């Protein structure tokens, strides 16, 4: 139980630091807060709601991991290194892919709502 409590404290510390210092994380949390009522309006089932919110949560998860990669790389060296650049670029690509995926899920939900039928 103590290990679980410590992990929770560590997670809260990371959340606090990211919400204070990372613009992308801040924007994604605001997006999540806006997505909650929008997903309720757009979705036609609990599964649809879960998928819409899950897409945003996945984006946030990838952003958190990308920030961790960048922090670890910066702690190792701030000098230019092609391997560090690749690690950071791959983290950035992962964020981009998750943005495209979340956008696709949301566009499909909007199209279904407009069309009035499941696509």
Intra-chain end-to-end CA distance of the chain, in Å = 46
Q: Is 63 a catalytic residue?
A: yes
Which residue of the set 63, 70, 79, 112 is catalytic?
Answer: 63
Which two tokens mark 39?
A: 């997903």
Cα–Cα distance for residue pair 17/33, rounded to 1 Å? 19
User: Residue 22 — φ and ψ, nearest 5°?
Assistant: -105, 110
Cα–Cα distance for residue pair 53/34, rounded to 1 Å? 10
Report DSSP state, residue 116.
T
Cα–Cα distance for residue pair 62/46, rounded to 1 Å? 24
Catalytic residues: 63
């Amino acid at each position: 139980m103590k290990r679980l409590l410590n992990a929770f404290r560590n997670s809260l510390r990371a959340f606090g630091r990211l919400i204070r210092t990372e613009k992308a994380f801040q924007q994604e949390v605001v997006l999540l807060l806006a997505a909650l009522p929008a997903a309720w309006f757009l979705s036609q089932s609990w599964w649809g709601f879960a998928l819409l919110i899950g897409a945003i949560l996945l984006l946030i998860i990838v952003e958190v991991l990308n920030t961790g990669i960048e922090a670890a790389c910066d702690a190792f060296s701030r000098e230019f290194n092609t391997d560090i650049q690749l690690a950071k670029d791959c983290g950035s690509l992962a964020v981009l892919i998750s943005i495209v995926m979340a956008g696709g899920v949301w566009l499909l939900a909007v199209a279904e709502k407009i069309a009035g039928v499941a696509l």
